[in-house]
Structure 1
């Protein structure tokens, strides 16, 4: 225990708390009133930039807001919880590994194995450092959060305004209310609110009432950077984790139609192609999640396969209508639940990535 306390003193004396939080991939690290605060790594899907807190006192007591299984701990427990994914009694059992992580991070070998510990010499370390710099993940700057009242211009008495023809197509009234569908009188477009992965409003898109080759189908009424978002992610995420599968549609309507049919693990690109940032978000859901691309009828199979191969390191499949169950430019969900189920059962094939 005296050894651990000495290590804590060294961390404080040499001001290493910030570097430790960086090493375990925390974000938005800052000093505030005698403590260091940070946001949990992206894989925790937490938007709280002050959730991780380490007090700059000899105990280095630490806590994570809104995590009932980690309230009162220290810097070692924080490493075990966040970086080593330990929970409950396993956090205490991981104490040596957490200590080892810090010592190896800073080269403090005197705290390991009675001071006789010798770290392995990595002759490729300089090259790895260069490559790490080159391959550093591009920072995703989130879209600004908009107030919900920004949608009131498209609502009737500040309430969603479902579009009747969509109800006839298969997107129920209740589903449209849930997604906040409205209507813009100025442009005569159906309004689809856009939300980030936490369900916060970041934009709104207007869609023409009837498909017309001479008119742009979509336009932003409340502009945002779509490449950083997946439509429906905040609703779909828990169902994706349960089903171990995510269906990726091209357009937002498909997600709403699928929701009406009781299919909840779907997201939509909302653009002409999937961005690198969108791929990153999907891959962060987990290694055990199957990704199924469900593109509209008429998209060449080789193009869909090329997109699938961008999800490196994951199980990726494509849904391709080889039995001509769909018509024209139909989305896979457009012909109803029976056709969808048949596509799922007979027309989904895994792609080598």
Structure 2
């Protein structure tokens, strides 16, 4: 798809713009008066970014002085060139390059996977030795303990802290080279009032250019449990994986996307690296279930990416057991087990 065609497609499917922004690290996304407003990945001003919802997609990144094209804004934030940004969006949304907005043919992709072909056209993540973590402090953050995450699981995932900047450090290991780090995400432990006073961003990416849609947080550990569990649970955030592992006493079977859109490279990887009888379970946050532009139809669209090659299901909070922005594991092990037991099986014909 050419840039002009892709803009028309995005403006006609505004939820896709949300997906691109969320997977690139933008947050606090809202719509008003024909615009999208949100915060930059490493900043905390919810109006720091403005995107016009017309075919120009004129974009301003106020805090870094950028004004111009939406794709140019992504180039700036991702430190990439135009071709890389176009490839990133097409791969993330599963779009073909023939200009008609159609998605990729999963049957063709599966045949390529079976032949052992490497079909991920996305630029690979840079690999770093585990000694990268030496700049941080090993420890068990009190805030994670307070959320019910066990010290054993915290150590298992090599969670660190950066005391000077008051951040919890989540290392992301490569999904193939499991001893190599590809991403480091820091989350502030400051309360909201202190964050506003000091202008502290909620999240910070320590490795520039990390492409989370070309990796799966936690797969380096979870891969060892798939044959026993016969399921792979896909959450949005790292802490959800840690909680699920805590509930399973270290024998979890989950990964995190860093958003709620499953990219083509992630689908391809999961199909190639999970047993044929492994059920794929989508466990998105409550707000994805309830948002007008997303909801169950959107979750089913994501589930369909794995059908008919794997059994697929998704968590659905029918009785409003979760808070507005809760992950399915946020209300304790009993509610999580209930939601997991009564998950909805995906049927292509509904």
TM-score range, shorter chain: 0.5 to 0.7
| Aligned with residue 298 of structure 1, among 271, 287, 290 | 287
SS at match of 1:204: strand
Give TM-score scaled by structure 1 length: 0.56
Does the residue aligned with 2:298 lie in a helix, a strand or coil?
helix
- Cα shift readout 1:186-213 (whole Å, capped 9, x = no counterpart): 5432110010124222221111326859
Which stretches of structure 1, 4 residues or longer, exceed 4 Å deviation after superposition? 210-216
State whether residues 260 and 284 of structure 2, in contact with CA within 8 Å, keep that contact through their aligned partners in structure 1.
Answer: no
- Is 1:202 paired with 2:202? no
In structure 2, what is the Cα distance between the partners aligned to 1:178 and 1:169? 17
| Separation in structure 1 between the aligned mates of residue 161 and residue 217 of structure 2, nearest angstrom | 18
Corresponding residue number in structure 2 for 1:260: 246
Over aligned residue pairs, what C-alpha RMSD do you find?
Answer: 2.7
**TM-score of the aligned structures, taking structure 2 as reference length:** 0.57
**1:231 is matched with which residue?**
217
How far does residue 141 in structure 1 lie from its aligned partner after superposition?
4.8
How far off is 1:140 after superposition?
5.2
Q: In the aligned structure 1, how far is the partner of 2:262 from the partner of 2:334? A: 28
Change in 2 beyond 3 A, CA 1:140/1:232: same
Distance 1:278 1:136, change over 3 A: closer
Shift of 1:271: 3.2
8 Å contact 1:261–1:337 — kept in the other structure? yes
State how far apart, in whole Å, the 1-side matches of 2:311 and 2:201 are.
35
Q: Which residue of 2 aligns with 1:84?
A: none
SS of the residue aligned with 1:150?
helix
Instruction: Find the aligned partners of 1:211 and 1:195 in 2 and give their Cα distance.
Output: 28
Deviation at 1:290, TM superposition (A): 1.1
Does 1 or 2 have the higher relative contact order (CA < 8 Å, sep 6+)?
Answer: 2
Specify the SS of the correspondent of 1:145.
Answer: coil
Unaligned runs of 5+ residues in structure 2 are 1-107, 289-294
Q: Which runs of 5+ in 1 are unaligned?
A: 1-127
Determine the structure 2 residue equivalent to 1:338. Answer: 334
Residue 222 of structure 1 aligns to a residue whose secondary structure is coil
Does 2:262 align with 1:274? Answer: yes
Structure 1 residue 219 displacement after superposition: 2.4
Q: How many residue pairs were aligned?
A: 218
Cα distance, 1:136 vs. partner?
8.5
Mapped partners of 1:298, 1:187: distance in 2: 30
| Matched residue, 1:221 | 206
